[in-house]
Structure 1
Amino acid sequence: MSVIDVTEEDALLIDEARLSWNDETTHARVQGLSRNPALPDTLVPRILEHPAADIVHVMYGRDWSDELFDIVAAHPDVRLREMLARCPRVTAGQRIRMIDDPDLHVLMALLEGPFAARSEPLPGWAYRKIAEHPAVRRRLPLYFPTELSRAAVAAFAAADDEELAAWARATSEPEPMTAERARTIAAGDSPWERRDIALEPDLPADVIVTLSADPDPRVRTYVSMRPELSEAERAAIGYQVSTHDRLPRLDWVLAADGAQLQRCVSSAHPGLRRSAACNTRLTTDQIAELAADDDFPVRLLLCENQEAVPTDLVVRTYLEARVITRGELLSHPAIVGADLTGYADSPHWGARALVVLDRRAPAELIERLSRDEHPGVRSWAAHDTRLSLQRLLELLEDPETATAAAANPGLPAELMAAILEAPIGSGDPPPGAAPSTGS
């Protein structure tokens, strides 16, 4: 069901709509419908067959009724069934109904689990039943236990089948680190192994000296983050850290407090400051110090791990970020519930677009932003259900905002159906291009 109730006046607007229908606009609108959380269940089977649909968004971006789940679970396309088995919003009760699927890819998807850390696991008996499939049993030895869901491995560990239980209980613990082994690795040819031991506790002093002069800058960087080193000793190692380098979170920094934590916050070493930004014991002053850090990853990690940061820092960090997880910043407590209307006149279009996240922003302001000079702002506003239907239809007609407007939950279901009926490959409009809601 659409969020916007269609009144008689709205019905007239829909009847009078004269949308352009061609391959480009249809493709853009179907892409938008793929992301529309209000797409009715009745239209999902149709969009899954549409050549312009974004199947990933259709599958992973919605809740699943039992009726719709059963339809897709029986679909002849194994790709759709495999994706369904991984959907984070599919319940365990629904997923159980797939354990008799004949395809190995679907069964392994059930064992690997959805792409969501908090997904509901299957009961143990269901995992063990899947493992009885001959193809699954042949495939399991190719996996490490960590590649499957924890619930599946736990179920296998308790299985009566000794071979399966032994596989599940198998561990990949590294060989114990001894002084002799450390010296062998430090003198070896593998920079990856030398890097991996650089932060090992209780390394012999001579090994630390060797690694501190290692020809590989990555090894020198890792060893420079050891807890026993002074600032002067770190600087003497000649480490190299760029904005794009991914460094490990240092356990000893995460556990630090008091004077030791302050030394990490004020350290000249970006690696220590990045880990300090994740420490749960930071004081207000330490958060402020890190918020002004000239290293972007420090500010990003601070926003990702601390709730007590100012809204403006989160906004600036979001606008600057080019990481795949940047969208998660928009659910930060400093953003959710904050008054964002002050950004409506920002010179940065990205900041103006964020105003739509403020659910208390008046509809008049959203309407104004939908006419912004920048298409990015207009597209963000086109998603918003506070828009009038007339303005939404105008945005659906505009090639620059058609995709975003089609993703608006307030789009009438009649128009959703008409978009899916529009032919691809001909210049003709769909039958009844101006759909009627009836009287």
Structure 2
Amino acid sequence: MPVADASEEDDALLIDYSHPSWTHETTHARVRGLSRNPVLPETLARRLLKHPAADRDAAVACRREWSDELFDIVAAHPDVRVREMLAQCHGATAEQRARMVDDPDLWVVMALVERQYIREPQPLPPWAYRKLAAQPRFKRRLRLLDPMEVSPEAVAAFADVEDDEIASWARATREPEPQPQPMTAEQARMIASGDSARQRAAIALEPDLPADVVATLAADPDPKVRTSVSMRPEFSEQQRAAIGYQVSTDDRLPTLDWVLDADDEQLQRCVSSAHPGVRRSAACNKRLTADQIATLAADDDFPVRLLLCENHDAVPTDLVVRTFLEARVVTRGRLLRHPAFVGADLTRYADSPDRNARALVVLDRRAPAELIERLSRDEEPAVRSSVAHDARLSQERLLELFEERETTAAAAANPNLPVELMAAILEAPIACVGPPEGSVPVP
């Protein structure tokens, strides 16, 4: 056994590094798992950051809270990537993160205000935004960004700073974009007969196009142009089908304003359309009825279902779960915070034939410990790993999972892992050819 029970006289765990379960491979996995342990004691956290096998990004991102002392130590870390992660860490307080406004690396400073896909940290205090706005290097970089790339709180704060250039940049998001001059019929005909398929596709949805231009674009040899023009509001379903459009699951199509504005019978026609592009825009319409939501929830087109989940709260939990399991987009993590998902009974997926669905049960905080224990013995290693880090596991079962090669990394991330074992992981011999790529060794 790699971990022996302590005697009554000695509370310390006895570690047997000669046991077959302690290999260079498992030690590497355990160090990586320990990097995600949210309650790693500070003394061990400092040692972890120096370990060649550590996942330093995870060590920073997963920590639940920071003492000022530990925060300042990591804020001075020589690895720029570590400091970037700290600047965006939701476990750190706003006041702690604000102390990084004078970081020597611009990318670290920008990380303080950039928007995140998954979870936003607390906004900085007002004085920090004012100090950032006074930095010439920050100002030069900020004005190159779209305000959508910056957190809403930062944009709002910059709108009130004394620097006119930054304030104007931030306030521009509140002002309507100037409307372009209407395209003349002559210009439309010139583009429609031109050599640029990109330009032809760009004008295909323009309102008030002459009928002859629409007919020309509908017969365009480029399928992207035909697909664009096929989503015009004046076409019937038969006319759309006759155009010969091509839409795949991976195609990114424009959101159609005329569909977003539709209601009543027109909206129903959009929901029932055979054109995936029209239905995708319909899924974003805020006026959908319960029946229309149900129709789109059963749509064969994955982007329709994804957009429906992203734009509506009143969707079935099963749809959100199914969409999350199918999704391969960078924003899929947002679905786990969907109102239909949060607080839902996920225990009903415990017996699902889909191992990935069974792995979601652990996210249900009301799932009983007995069920978590049962899933920890699932035939699929991925399911066992999904619960190996959960605090509801008994310590006996946790130590068993720690010994299994497939689950040892997840078990090392369990907050109930004995501190002595955490220390043993960092002390275990390990063969490393070098530090993780992109890291900078700590002197």
For Structure 1 versus Structure 2, the TM-score category normalised by the shorter chain is 0.7 to 0.9
For residue 439 of structure 2, what is the aligned residue in structure 1?
none
Instruction: Tell me by how many angstroms 1:240 deviates.
Output: 0.6
Alpha-carbon distance in 2 for matches of 1:8, 1:206: 90
Residue 306 (structure 1) aligned with residue 302 (structure 2): no
- CA change 1:280–1:99 in 2 (3 A) is same
Instruction: Tell me by how many angstroms 1:35 deviates.
Output: 2.0
For residue 42 of structure 2, what is the aligned residue in structure 1?
41
What is the TM-score normalised by the length of structure 2?
A: 0.81
For residue 61 of structure 2, what is the aligned residue in structure 1?
60
For residue 336 of structure 1, what is the aligned residue in structure 2?
342
Instruction: Tell me by how many angstroms 1:150 deviates.
Output: 5.5
Alpha-carbon distance in 1 for matches of 2:327, 2:410: 22
For residue 270 of structure 1, what is the aligned residue in structure 2?
276
- CA change 1:358–1:83 in 2 (3 A) is closer
1:70-89 to structure 2, matched below 5 A, reads 70-89=72-91
Alpha-carbon distance in 2 for matches of 1:341, 1:384: 15
Instruction: Tell me by how many angstroms 1:128 deviates.
Output: 4.4
- CA change 1:117–1:205 in 2 (3 A) is farther
Tell me, yes or no, if the aligned pair for 2:6 and 2:13 is still in contact at 8 Å.
Answer: no
Q: Percent same amino acid among aligned pairs? A: 69
Residue 223 (structure 1) aligned with residue 229 (structure 2): yes
Say which SS state the counterpart of residue 385 (structure 1) adopts: coil
Alpha-carbon distance in 1 for matches of 2:233, 2:251: 20
Residue 246 (structure 1) aligned with residue 248 (structure 2): no
Instruction: Tell me by how many angstroms 1:270 deviates.
Output: 0.9
Tell me, yes or no, if the aligned pair for 1:85 and 1:114 is still in contact at 8 Å.
Answer: no
For residue 28 of structure 2, what is the aligned residue in structure 1?
27
Mind listing any 5+ residue stretches in structure 2 that lack a counterpart? 433-443
For residue 110 of structure 1, what is the aligned residue in structure 2?
112
* Aligned amino acid, residue 42 of structure 1: T
Tell me, yes or no, if the aligned pair for 1:262 and 1:286 is still in contact at 8 Å.
Answer: yes
Instruction: Tell me by how many angstroms 1:375 deviates.
Output: 1.0
Of 160, 175, 179, the residue aligned with 2:183 is 179
- CA change 1:244–1:15 in 2 (3 A) is same
TM-superposition CA deviations, 1:403-424 (whole Å, max 9, x none): 1111222222222222122232
- CA change 1:185–1:345 in 2 (3 A) is same
1:86-101 to structure 2, matched below 5 A, reads 86-101=88-103
Instruction: Tell me by how many angstroms 1:369 deviates.
Output: 1.8
Tell me, yes or no, if the aligned pair for 1:99 and 1:129 is still in contact at 8 Å.
Answer: yes
Residue 352 (structure 1) aligned with residue 353 (structure 2): no
1:71-220 to structure 2, matched below 5 A, reads 71-112=73-114, 118-122=120-124, 125-136=127-138, 139=141, 143=145, 147-149=149-151, 176-180=180-184, 181-220=187-226
For residue 435 of structure 2, what is the aligned residue in structure 1?
none
Say which SS state the counterpart of residue 252 (structure 2) adopts: coil
Instruction: Tell me by how many angstroms 1:151 deviates.
Output: 5.5
1:364-379 to structure 2, matched below 5 A, reads 364-379=370-385
Mind listing any 5+ residue stretches in structure 1 that lack a counterpart? 1-5, 427-439
Instruction: Tell me by how many angstroms 1:257 deviates.
Output: 2.2
Alpha-carbon distance in 2 for matches of 1:160, 1:311: 47
Instruction: Tell me by how many angstroms 1:63 deviates.
Output: 3.4
Tell me, yes or no, if the aligned pair for 1:199 and 1:225 is still in contact at 8 Å.
Answer: yes
Instruction: Tell me by how many angstroms 1:138 deviates.
Output: 5.5
For residue 414 of structure 2, what is the aligned residue in structure 1?
408
Alpha-carbon distance in 1 for matches of 2:7, 2:205: 70
Tell me, yes or no, if the aligned pair for 1:124 and 1:151 is still in contact at 8 Å.
Answer: no
Alpha-carbon distance in 2 for matches of 1:303, 1:51: 41
- CA change 1:316–1:110 in 2 (3 A) is closer
- CA change 1:194–1:66 in 2 (3 A) is farther
Alpha-carbon distance in 2 for matches of 1:109, 1:268: 44
Alpha-carbon distance in 2 for matches of 1:363, 1:233: 58
Aligned length in residues: 420
TM-superposition CA deviations, 1:227-257 (whole Å, max 9, x none): 2322122112211111222223323323322
For residue 322 of structure 1, what is the aligned residue in structure 2?
328
Which range moves more in the overlay, 301-310 or 270-279?
Answer: 301-310
* Aligned amino acid, residue 23 of structure 1: H
Alpha-carbon distance in 1 for matches of 2:165, 2:357: 57
Alpha-carbon distance in 2 for matches of 1:49, 1:252: 57
RMSD over equivalenced CA pairs, Å = 3.4
Say which SS state the counterpart of residue 373 (structure 1) adopts: coil
Which range moves more in the overlay, 100-109 or 117-126?
Answer: 117-126
Alpha-carbon distance in 1 for matches of 2:152, 2:197: 32
TM-superposition CA deviations, 1:55-86 (whole Å, max 9, x none): 22222233342413222222233332233223
Instruction: Tell me by how many angstroms 1:224 deviates.
Output: 1.6
TM-superposition CA deviations, 1:299-330 (whole Å, max 9, x none): 23333333333333333333333333334333
For residue 437 of structure 2, what is the aligned residue in structure 1?
none
* Aligned amino acid, residue 224 of structure 1: S
TM-superposition CA deviations, 1:23-67 (whole Å, max 9, x none): 201111111122222323333322222222222222223334241
Alpha-carbon distance in 1 for matches of 2:7, 2:210: 81
* Aligned amino acid, residue 399 of structure 1: R
